[in-house]
Structures are given as structure tokens and as C-alpha cells.
Amino acid sequence: MATTEAEKSKEYRARKKAELALLPPEEAAAIIAEKKRKKAEYDAARYEEIGDQKRATSNAWYAANPERGKARSNARYAEKKDEILAQEAAKRRAAIEADPEYTKKEYQAALKRMAANPELYKATRRAGDKRRREADPERYQQASRDRYWADPEKSRERGVQDAHTRRARKLEAGGQFTAADIRTLMEKQKGKCLVCLKPFGKNKPHVDHYISLARGGTNDPSNLRLLCRKCNMAKHAKDPIEFGRLHGLLCW
């Protein structure tokens, strides 16, 4: 014996289902279609009223069925992509019209989201950059050239720095230096190569790792010195003591 409303309604649905099952399939299908249409019409008329309730039910379902929910929303998106994008764009336009500060707030919210999960956004940004670069490599090469020539001196400094950082990272050496560190070294060394003591003049100094990265040195400024090209090439990845002996800088 059904007592609660829910039980009564369940019983009612079971009875209707049994009745439908007795009908010829086409007739049953037509009845179901008509019921669905009426329900949709009824819901549409009361959308504002039942909207919150529907959203709550839907959110609860998605929370309880994450995998199926994902599949369902992907399928829906694939089917109605243009419609959904147009709807989103219209919503955004309306929001901008209603609030002139909207884009600013939107931007700040995005910054906040990015700050909350930097790794995720870094990966996303990199993936996007890569996709765009591959789609139009010429444009990216031009942009890169423009950046370089906007301040060639700084670009070269940064290039040297990046190359060392990459190498250090590769060797998991840790530590890093900046262009300012290099300028400080240049002042300390009075503009001269530490091995042959010749002034660098117009030549770009080579940033040398006193203990080479290959031998476990780091990128920390305390492990750096500036050498001329010739001396740096001669040193290559030799042990500093070995190198010093070889050049008569050490007598033990």
C-alpha cells in the first residue's frame, strides 16, 4: 500500500508504463513523443520559475556522474557548437553593455584563476603558443625577429643567459644569473679576461662556469667568471685545477 507522494507517483508511472507496453509500438511511441512535447512546452513557459530547480538537479547529476557527465556535455557541445558559441557571445555582449567594467573584471578574474593554479595555465599557454606557432610559423618567426631587433643588445644578453639556464636545467645544476650579474662581474674583472688578462674591448665575453656544469657546478653567480672566447674554448669542460695547471696559473 503506497503511503507517501513519491511512492504513489512511482506506482502511477509503473502502471502507465505497463499500459503503454500493451499498445502497438508505433502508437506508444507517438504517445511518448506527445508527452515529451507537452512537458517541454510546460517547462519553457515556467522556465524562470523552474530554472533554479532544474539547474540544481542537473548540477547534482553531473556531480554524481562525472564521467558520463563529461561525455554528455562533450556530445552536446559537438552537436550544437555554433549555437552554444553564439549564445555565449550574446551573453557576454549583454554583460558588457550592462557593466562597462565587465571586461576589466573578467580579466582580473582570469588573473586570479591563473595565480591560483600557475602550472596548469603555464601548460595551457604553452600548448596554445605551440598550436598557433605551428599553424603560422612565418608569423612567429617575424615576431621573434621584430622582438630581437627592438633591442639587439638586450636580446643577445638574454640569449646568452637563456642558453646557460637551459644547459644548467638540463644538468639539473640549479641556480641562475641575470644580465645584471654579468655586468657586476664585468666591473669586478675591470673588463679583462681572468685567464689571459687581456681587455675584452669590443668582444663579447664568454660566461664561464668556474666549476663546469658537467662537473656539478651551478649557474649561481658565485660560480661564474668572464673569459675571452679563446680562453673559454681552451678551458671547455676541464677541471678548474687541471686548467689552471695547464696554463701555469697554479704551481701545485
- 3-state SS, residue 64: helix
Give the whole-angstrom CA distance, residue 74 versus residue 67. 11
Binding Zn ion (rule: CB under 5 A), the pick from 185, 195, 213, 224 is 195
CB of 231 to Zn ion, least distance (A): 3
Among 207, 228, 235, 243, binds Zn ion (CB under 5 A): 228
Q: Which stretch binds Zn ion (CB under 5 A): 25-33, 69-77, 89-97, 189-197?
A: 189-197
Out of 185, 219, 231, 243, point to the residue binding Zn ion (CB under 5 A): 231
Q: Does 182 bind Zn ion (CB under 5 A)?
A: no
DSSP string, 70-132: HHHHHHHHHHHHHHHHHHHHHHHHHHHHH-TTHHHHHHHHHHHHHHHSHHHHHHHHHHHHHHH
Which stretches of the chain are DSSP H helices? 5-22, 25-45, 47-64, 66-98, 102-116, 118-135, 137-150, 152-170, 179-188, 229-235, 240-246
Nearer to Zn ion, 168 or 226 (CB): 226
Stretch of 122-130, 139-147, 179-187, 227-235 lying at the interface with Zn ion (CB under 5 A): 227-235
Handedness of CA 144, 147, 149, 151 (dihedral sign): negative
The answer to whether 226 touches 207, Cβ cutoff 8 Å, is: yes
Least gap, CB of 215 to Zn ion (angstroms): 21
**Residue 226 Cβ, how far from Zn ion at the closest point, in Å?**
9
Q: Is 171 in a helix, a strand, or coil? A: coil
Q: How far is the CB of 160 from Zn ion (least distance, A)?
A: 17
Tell the smallest beta-carbon distance from residue 110 to Zn ion (Å): 50
Stretch that binds Zn ion, among 107-115, 211-219, 220-228, 242-250 (CB under 5 A): 220-228
Instruction: Estimate to the nearest angstrom the gap between the alpha carbon of 195 and the chain centroid.
Output: 44
Contact between 207 and Zn ion per CB under 5 A:
no
Instruction: State the residues that interact with Zn ion by CB under 5 A.
Output: 193, 195-196, 228, 231
